[in-house]
Amino acid sequence: MFQRVAFLIRHEARMEFRQQHTLIGIALFALSTVYLCYQAFQKIEQGKVWSSLLWIIILFTAFSAIGKSFQQQQRGLRMYLYWNVAPGEFILAKVIYNMGLMLLLGFLAFGAFVLFLGAAPFESNMWVPYMLGITLGSIGFASLLTLVSGIAAQSESGVGLTAVLGIPIVIPLILLLNRYNENILLNVPFNDNLENLGFLGVLTLGILGLSYILFPYLWRD
């Protein structure tokens, strides 16, 4: 099983790099949005505003990157995978690949934000917990939006359905991330913020488990 999942992840990577313009376009979208924020604000002193803008950019980057995850596959390839790959292995490979992609884009947006808008809200003890939040948030977005993108692809309703279904579902994850990050910027002790971090981890694992259980039913249709 693990060998087949690893093969599918490599296949996803090869398909992505054959269409480099798509990946470069998504990265440019994130960077240009950060630059627009820089032109508008120059420098942000308030931690809550800084964090909120960053997560808005990461969220819409996630929709751009993962919304077309299933749409790019040609019908012939989908039929071949249908007959030769177990649905659990297929969705697991998709989610793992999208997790790696979102981690890359999330840290790219974070690095660009620090470069252009500075890191005035941060103290030295805030960096590691905040980056941990970016890691879990990016993984959570990838898990959730991969399943939603699969539903949209199977219904042949296009990328628009991914946004319609994804935005309401992603709200609990956004609320948890907002609470966790706000506590960091308010210098709440890390031990007191572990509950929010635990909820983020449980929610991400729950979404991943739900994807693994539900996707075979979509696959049959």
Going from N- to C-terminal start, the domains of the chain cover 2-220
Report the b/e string of 2-11 with b at 16+ CB within 10 A. Answer: eeebeebbee
What span, in angstroms and rounded, lies between the C-alpha atoms of 25 and 185? 32
61-83 pLDDT, tens digit per residue, is: 888 888 776 666 556 566 666 66
Cβ-in-10-Å burial (0-12, 13-18, 19+) of 64 comes to middle
Over residues 17-40, the mean pLDDT reads 81
- Least confidently predicted of 55-59, 94-98, 99-103, 206-210: 206-210
pTM tops 0.75, yes or no = yes
What span, in angstroms and rounded, lies between the C-alpha atoms of 199 and 219? 30
107-139 pLDDT, tens digit per residue, is: 999 998 888 888 777 777 778 888 888 888 888
What residues have CB less than 8 Å from 196, skipping those under 6 apart? 176, 179, 180, 183
Q: Which of 215, 196, 197 is nearest to 144 (CA)?
A: 215
Coil vs helix vs strand at 11: helix
Cβ-in-10-Å burial (0-12, 13-18, 19+) of 161 comes to middle
Half-sphere exposure of 98 (CA within 13 A, CB side): 31
Q: Is pLDDT at 50 greater than 70 in this prediction?
A: yes
CA angle 216, 136, 184 (to 5 degrees): 155
What span, in angstroms and rounded, lies between the C-alpha atoms of 105 and 98? 10
Cβ-in-10-Å burial (0-12, 13-18, 19+) of 166 comes to buried
Q: Is pLDDT at 219 greater than 60 in this prediction?
A: yes
Q: Which of 35, 88, 67 is nearest to 142 (CA)?
A: 67
